[in-house]
């Protein structure tokens, strides 16, 4: 894969005259592993049988991992005893942009590997994605001279195996394995290449399952209409920010927003128009927030902003900007306004339920006082709440 990420930049490789041409390209991270050349100590048949048995044994462990990172860590842990290697990288194929996106790398030159996105048409890994066929290049293969990862050493020998990761008959990425040696030519045996191909079948299934689990988790935490975090995330984040406020003795402000007369938008213009208004209002609140703030959709037309480290004045200023932009920007078939309630816990020493109750109370006051305004900006909640 790393070969895949090797851009089409050529590098000169310094090798001893009596040795075959070697390239350097590297993918790796922090840990050095003993280098094993492509010499089999047992018979090929025995090696393959033992390797296949190890792959079968590895399947349960890799497939049982719940997170994508744990799955990738498990792949490395299980593959290394089967086929020793010095570096490994996993790439995800972006078929729209026609590039390979590095999602994982261990061994050597990890930062360089993760920083480079090889194209489908300008890398060995890209050729694997397009063909669906494994590539096996030993250190004397002249094709290695054409594909190198920028900023990696060109003064060592390497052998590479790039295997396609295929799920539901689609190449979703590549698994690239390197064996590197600064002084001597290196290679993978044909048996090792076949074992890596078999292992890649397992890896593709595990990767696809882990990715799907992460996507489902993200969906469970995200409001489908606006793309904002949902009510579940809101409660978790508010608890976390108040705990942080108590530790660091810093304020936390909560602003609750409600779109004024939203029912009239749906009644007169239809629900698609109402959806446009909610999406637009979500963009306004997010656009006025800081990177450290959390904006969530907590109900139908109700939104919340958790302002970490913000006192009453900062919360009032954020709210003023948000309401002004909402008032001045067409967010649907007609201009809309919103109301807001603000509550601040001076040093986080307040229960989340009480902070929410205070902000909601101020929101109701803003509605009663004529809408299109904020209430509660000057009120602080002390540790006595």
Of residues 258, 257, 269, the one with CA closest to residue 332: 269
Q: What is d(CA 198, CA 143) in angstroms, rounded to the nearest whole number?
A: 24
Q: Which of 112, 158, 241, 301 is catalytic?
A: 301
DSSP state of 14: -
Query: Going by C-beta distance under 8 Å and a sequence separation of 6 or more, which residues neighbour residue 23?
Result: 11, 13, 139, 144, 145, 148, 154, 157, 158
The position carrying tokens 């001893």 is: 16
Of residues 81, 33, 76, the one with CA closest to residue 54: 81
Q: What is d(CA 45, CA 303) in angstroms, rounded to the nearest whole number?
A: 64
Q: Could you tell me where the DSSP H helices lie in the chain?
A: 2-5, 44-63, 68-82, 110-115, 124-131, 190-220, 231-248, 262-269, 271-288, 312-328, 352-368
Contact (Cβ atoms closer than 8 angstroms) between residue 176 and residue 38: no
- For the question of residue 314 being annotated catalytic, the response is no
Query: Residue 167 CB: number of other CB atoms within 10 A?
Result: 17
Q: Are strands 380-381 and 374-375 parallel, antiparallel or unpaired?
A: unpaired
Residues identified as active-site: 301
């Amino acid at each position: 894969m790393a070969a895949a990420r090797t851009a089409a930049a050529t590098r000169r490789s310094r090798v001893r005259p009596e040795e075959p041409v070697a390239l350097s390209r590297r993918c790796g991270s922090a840990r050095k592993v003993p280098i094993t050349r492509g010499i089999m100590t047992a018979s090929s048949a025995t090696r393959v049988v033992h390797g296949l048995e190890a792959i079968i044994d590895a399947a349960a462990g890799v497939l049982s991992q719940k997170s994508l990172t744990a799955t990738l860590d498990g792949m490395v842990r299980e593959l290394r005893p089967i086929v020793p290697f010095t570096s490994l990288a996993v790439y995800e194929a972006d078929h729209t942009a026609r590039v390979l996106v590095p999602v994982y790398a261990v061994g050597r030159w990890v930062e360089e590997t993760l920083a480079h996105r090889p194209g489908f048409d300008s890398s060995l890994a890209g050729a694997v994605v397009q063909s669906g066929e494994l590539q096996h290049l030993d250190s004397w293969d002249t094709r290695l001279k054409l594909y190198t990862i920028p900023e990696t050493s060109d003064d060592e020998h390497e052998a590479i195996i790039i295997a396609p990761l295929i799920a539901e008959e689609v190449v979703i990425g590549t698994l690239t394995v390197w064996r590197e040696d600064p002084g001597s030519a290196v290679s993978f045996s044909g048996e090792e290449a076949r074992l890596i191909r078999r292992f890649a079948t397992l890896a593709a299934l595990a990767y696809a399952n882990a990715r799907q689990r992460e996507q489902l988790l993200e969906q469970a935490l995200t409001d489908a209409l606006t793309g904002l975090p949902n009510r579940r995330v809101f409660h978790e984040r508010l608890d976390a920010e108040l705990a942080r406020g108590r530790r660091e003795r810093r304020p936390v402000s909560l602003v609750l927003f409600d779109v004024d007369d939203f029912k009239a938008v749906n009644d007169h213009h239809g629900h698609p128009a109402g959806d446009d208004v909610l999406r637009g209002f979500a963009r306004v609140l997010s656009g006025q927030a800081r990177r450290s703030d959390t904006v969530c959709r907590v109900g139908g037309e109700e939104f919340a902003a958790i302002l970490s480290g913000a006192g009453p004045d900062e919360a009032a200023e954020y709210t003023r900007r948000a309401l002004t932009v909402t008032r001045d920007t067409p967010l649907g078939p007609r201009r809309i306004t919103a109301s807001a309630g603000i509550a601040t816990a001076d040093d986080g020493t307040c229960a989340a339920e009480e902070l929410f109750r205070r902000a909601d109370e101020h929101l109701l006051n803003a509605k009663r006082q004529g809408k299109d305004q904020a209430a509660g900006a000057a009120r602080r909640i002390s540790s006595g709440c």
